[in-house]
Structure 1
Amino acid sequence: MRWKRWLEDLRRSFIVESIRSDERSAGGILLGHDMNWAFWNGIGGGQADFDEPSGNLSPRDRAMLYEYLNQKAHVDELIHAFDKFAQPVNVARGATIVDIGCGPFTFGPALANVLGNGVSFRYFGVDRAASMRALGKEHEAKYEANARLSVVPTRRVQSQRKAKR
C-alpha cells in the first residue's frame, strides 16, 4: 500500500518544507550541516538524546531532523505491517494502541493511512524526549486541522529520568 495523498502532502508541508525553508538549509545542507553530520551527529543515527542541544541545533531542530531523515522509512515500514495486520479493517476498529518510544507521532498517521476514514482507534504515545512529544503534539493538531485525523485528547506520557551522577 502506498502513502495516501493527504499523508504525503502533510509530510511535505509540515516536515520537508520546514527544514528546507530554514535559513540554515541550502542544497544538501540541513540546518547548517551536511547530511552525514546531520544523521550521525545531529540525530545520533536516530538514537540521540533529543532533549539535549548538539552544536547549533536545538532539541526541536534535532527532532525535526529526525523526522526529515528517518520518518518516511518508518512510515513505509508501518504502512506495510498495518496493511498485513489490520485487514480486515474491523481488526483495528476501536483498538487501543500504546506506542512506546513514539517519537513525533509517526504510528498514528501510518495506521490512519491504512484504515481510512471512519475507523477509530485510541492512541497513546509514550516517549522520554520532551522535544519528540512536543513535535508530535504539533503534528497531531495539524493532522486534525486538515481533517485527516479526528484527534481526541491523548496522553503523551513523559517517563521520569534518573538524575545523572
Structure 2
Amino acid sequence: MVTIMAELLVSSVFSRVDLSVLAEIARRSSIEIHPEGAQICRYGESSDGMFVLVRGETIAGVAGENGREIIGRGGAGTVFGELGVISGRPRSAFVEVTSEEASVIAIPCSAVDDLLARRTGYAVLLASNSRSRRSSRLLVQERCESPRIVRCARDPREN
C-alpha cells in the first residue's frame, strides 16, 4: 500500500487529495503490469476503474476512417480511464502499451465513487485532467454541468 500511495502522490491529480483519503484509495487499488501491445483500456468496454501509469509508455486512440487514430501519448504519471468512471459511460478510447511493458495503478470504480462522495472538489480535479485531452472535451463538459454525481455499480466481490 505504501508504494501505491507514494506513486499516487507523484500524479498531479492525486497530489492534492487528503492523505487519509489517498490511503484508502491505495488500500483498494492494485499494481498491474502489462506487456507491449496490451490494451489496458478498450474502446466501448465498461468503465470499471481508472489508471495511473507508473512506468512505461502508452498511446491512446480511437477507430478512424483509415484505421486507428492516435489521440495521445502517456508516460509516468499519466492518468487515464477516469472519464468513463465519472461519466458512467463506456470507454471512449483504447489505451495500448508501446514500451516493453507498463506498470499501472488500477483504481476500482467504487474507490473513485467514494472519493467523489467525500468532496465534490475531487470531481473537478479528475475532470480537469480529462479536459486537456481533445477527445474528451464534450463528455467532461456534460459531466461538469450535470447536477448529479454518477454512481458506479459496486462489485459485490469488493470489500
> Is the TM-score greater than 0.5?
no
User: Larger % of strand: which?
Assistant: 2
Q: How would you bin the TM-score normalised by the shorter chain? A: 0.3 to 0.5
Q: Which has the higher contact order (CA 8 A, sep 6+)?
A: 2
User: Larger % of helix: which?
Assistant: 1
The alignment's TM-score, normalised by the length of structure 2, stands at 0.36
The alignment's TM-score, normalised by the length of structure 1, stands at 0.35
